Amino acid sequence: MLLRGLTWLVLFQLLGTVLNVLLVPMLPGPIIGLLLLFAALLLRGSASESLQVAASSLLRYLPLLLVPPAVGVMVYTEAILQDFWAIVGVLVISLLLSLVFTGWLMQALIQRQSRRREDA
Amino acid sequence: MTTMLDWHAAWQALIHHPLFGVGITLAAFQLSFAAYEKTRWVFLQPVLLSALLVIGVLLLCGLSYADYADSAQLLTVMLGPATVALAVPLYLNLRRIRELFAPIVITLLVAGVTATALGMALAWLFGAERMILMTLAPKSVTSPIAMLVAEQIGGVVALAAVFVMITGVLGAIFGPALLRRCGVRHPAARGMALGLTAHAVGTAQALQESDECGAFAALAMSLMGVMTAVLLPLVVTLLL
């Protein structure tokens, strides 16, 4: 069950990599794979249970999979420490502002939409 | 001296085993996750704490990041299929997404451009040079895209990945509480905010809140990634 879903995920990732090299060098393989799998699910009209099981099991461990890339920060400790406050300042301020702005804007738009639907 | 155990050889065999990286990452993650579950203290964010624990172990063992990257490949390589897997929650929440189509598109365009421009403007104010500006520009998107884009517009690829990672971890640590404090309670809005600004790490955090929140985070992350990959190099060539 799990294995069949996993097979599809790996195949779509590979297909994405092929298309990345052949046609769209600006999008990485996994993102092309994501878009293709989404399109395939739309065409098919349903997501099989094995695919759902595989996807949710894999996504449950997404934080774990992100640990190795995060460890890569250690290579740049010196460069980061040199401009520590500038980098942290820019990253923290811009992240916090844009995070709140995004959430606020989306919520305001959702509320406006539901108000309009009620009026109509 | 035949009874003397060869501790040195055993130690070398241990730290150079092809599964050593996987082993310490799994152990660090279990510890961090347990600590986070028990305390719910935001600074114990599992990705951050695990990474720090792994870095500590590597320094103690005298191993370089390259050694670690080799022996943690089993985990790294699954990141691709995991990204593809985000299509599933996206599809399963299709009805919700269709209902909110206009808010999604407007938020993506307005907030996506704001997030990118704000980072660059602040860096410019802080007096960063062009190279750093171009490295910071793609900081809100998932690292493979950010690295590609940084390269295209003249930034430092490896440093771009670092900015992406710091941004993601910050978003996961402060995002949920900050959004709550600012009155953003709608799961779709919380998901959009986490995915658009803090990419995969934010999405992983959003998946913990609810399915709907996670689906919108995955949606925002992939749309923001595609938009950045296609438009940012174009805008930079035209304007700067």
Smallest CA–CA distance, residue B116 to chain A, in Å, is 9
Of B47, B92, B128, the CB nearest to A86: B128
Mean pLDDT computed over every residue of chain A: 89
Amino acid letter at B176?
A: P
State the pLDDT at residue B96: 80
Smallest CA–CA distance, residue B107 to chain A, in Å, is 6
Of B69, B87, B200, the CB nearest to A68: B69
Which of A50-54, A114-118, B91-95 is most confident? A50-54
SS3 for chain A is CHHHHHHHHHHHHHHHHHHHHHCCCCCCHHHHHHHHHHHHHHHHCCCCHHHHHHHHHHHHCHHHHCHHHHHHHHHHHHHHHHCHHHHHHHHHHHHHHHHHHHHHHHHHHHHHHHHHHHHC
CB contact under 8 A, A31 and B104: no
Smallest CA–CA distance, residue B9 to chain A, in Å, is 27
CB atoms within 10 A of CB A42: 11
ipTM of model: 0.86
Of B122, B200, B226, the CB nearest to A94: B122
Smallest CA–CA distance, residue B8 to chain A, in Å, is 26
Report how far residue A31's alpha carbon sits from residue A27's, in angstroms, rounded to the nearest whole number.
Answer: 7
CB contact under 8 A, A74 and B65: yes
CB contact under 8 A, B110 and A28: no
pLDDT tens sequence across B117-138:
999 899 888 877 788 888 888 8
| Mean pLDDT in residue range B69-82 | 90
Report the share of chain B in percent with pLDDT over 90. 50
Report the share of chain A in percent with pLDDT over 90. 50
CB contact under 8 A, B89 and A64: no
CB contact under 8 A, B179 and A99: yes
pLDDT tens sequence across B219-238:
999 888 888 887 888 788 78
